[in-house]
Amino acid sequence: MTALLELTAIRAAYDAITVLHGVDLSVRAGEVVALLGPNGAGKTTTLKVAAGVHPIADGELRLGGRTVNGADPRDLARAGVCLIPEGRGIFPNLTVRDNLLMMSFTGRPVAEIEDIAFARFPILAQRAGQTAGTLSGGEQQMLALARGLVTDPAVLLLDELSMGLAPLVVGRLYEQVAEIARQGVAVLIVEQFAAAVLDIADTAAVLVRGRIEHQGPPDLGLRNQLATLYLGSP
Q: How far apart are CA 127 and CA 134, in angstroms?
A: 10
| CB of 54 or CB of 127, closer to ligand ATP | 54
Structural element, H or E, at residue 175: helix 167-182
Tally the C-alpha atoms within 13 A of residue 1's C-alpha that lie toward its C-beta.
12
132 phi and psi, to 5 degrees?
A: -60, -35
Contact with ligand ATP (CB under 6 A) among 5, 41, 84, 124: 41
- Stretch of 37-45, 136-144, 163-171, 174-182 lying at the interface with ligand ATP (CB under 6 A): 37-45
| CB of 12 or CB of 142, closer to ligand ATP | 12
| CB of 41 or CB of 187, closer to ligand ATP | 41
**Interacting residues with ligand ATP between 153 and 192 (CB under 6 A):** 192
**Interacting residues with ligand ATP between 48 and 67 (CB under 6 A):** none
x/- track of binding to ligand ATP for residues 188-207 (CB under 6 A): ----x---------------
Look at phi and psi of residue 173 and say left if phi exceeds 0, alpha if psi is from -120 to 50, else beta. alpha
Q: Is 88 in the site for ligand ATP (CB under 6 A)?
A: no
| CB of 19 or CB of 100, closer to ligand ATP | 19
Asked if residues 225 and 214 have their Cβ atoms less than 8 Å apart, the reply is: yes
- Stretch of 33-41, 139-147, 178-186, 217-225 lying at the interface with ligand ATP (CB under 6 A): 33-41
DSSP 88: T
Asked if residues 142 and 110 have their Cβ atoms less than 8 Å apart, the reply is: no
